[in-house]
Structure 1
């Protein structure tokens, strides 16, 4: 009979390096993969979304009310977000990426903070000027609850919300 192998976590404790890497990934991201639960089937669904910082440093996405992921977020605000892209060379799995568990909260046009969010968004995403003022578009604030940071082979951390903002 094989001996029991002690179970050890592959995750390191959050430290300065992990916090900086996670925050840098978030700050640089202009798109991400969003995972939601389809309200009709309960199955996971993944889509690509635009992403960017708000005027207070909050994490935002601008979405159409007609999109399936918007319906999903309105039904269940829990979601997953994957940030980070492979570099031009090497194994894609050696490049840093951050998987976040988030809570999405809608920000509607009549909220006082909407105009400043709109201005900041357009500064980072100028092409969205074509649709940002259409009546079905709204922001979701994506509040990180926890994160799993993979900094490359053998470098993984679990992060809390305080590590990510």
Structure 2
């Protein structure tokens, strides 16, 4: 007997939920490959969005994950947190496969990214001007949305904002 595919057809509800998880994220788990050992490495980072809605972070050169992204921009982000009650596995989460793209300070888009980021991360004003901090835009290559038991979707970049 053939196995049933557990991935549901992507519909507008799945797209809307994935977009909401990106829009509402203030932090997430970033997975990179350690440049020295090649092993996976996970770090919690602040998450914002570009004005177009794509995931964005503001990272320090001193952070291990930044050095890893400089060595290999392939990465993954996990967005979505468990609610206050119930099984954590029943709450929606979005795994994004992405390529990190550092935005130079002299890039035309830098000022707009800073203004947009500060609107949702006002405490970043304390370090927005530090020379070792940089914006990183995450260009999504694909995504997996898990809405709970038996509710999984595979999304394409075109299903998500800013792509």
Bin of the TM-score, shorter chain as denominator length: over 0.9
Which one of 47, 50, 55 corresponds to residue 54 of structure 1? 50
**Segment of structure 1 superposing worse, 145-154 or 55-64:** 55-64
Instruction: Report the aligned-residue RMSD.
Output: 0.9
Give yes or no for the alignment of 1:67 onto 2:63.
Answer: yes
Which one of 29, 32, 35 corresponds to residue 31 of structure 2? 35
User: In structure 1, what is the Cα distance between the partners aligned to 2:152 and 2:59?
Assistant: 31
Q: Secondary structure at the match of 2:125?
A: helix
Which runs of at least 4 in structure 1 moved beyond 6 Å after TM superposition? none
Match of 2:89 in 1: 93
Give runs of aligned pairs for residues 56-135 of structure 1, distance below 5 A. Answer: 56-135=52-131
Q: TM-score, normalised on structure 1?
A: 0.95
Structure 1: where are the runs of 5+ without partners? none
Which one of 3, 13, 36 corresponds to residue 17 of structure 1? 13
Q: Secondary structure at the match of 2:99?
A: strand
Match of 1:45 in 2: 41
User: In structure 1, what is the Cα distance between the partners aligned to 2:54 and 2:84?
Assistant: 29
1:102-146, CA deviations, whole angstroms, 9 ceiling, x for partnerless residues? 111000111111011111111110001111110010000001111
User: Is the radius of gyration larger for structure 1 or structure 2?
Assistant: 1
Give yes or no for the alignment of 1:137 onto 2:133.
Answer: yes
User: In structure 1, what is the Cα distance between the partners aligned to 2:22 and 2:51?
Assistant: 14
| CA shift for structure 1 position 56 | 2.8
Q: TM-score, normalised on structure 2?
A: 0.96
User: In structure 1, what is the Cα distance between the partners aligned to 2:82 and 2:69?
Assistant: 27
User: In structure 1, what is the Cα distance between the partners aligned to 2:53 and 2:75?
Assistant: 20
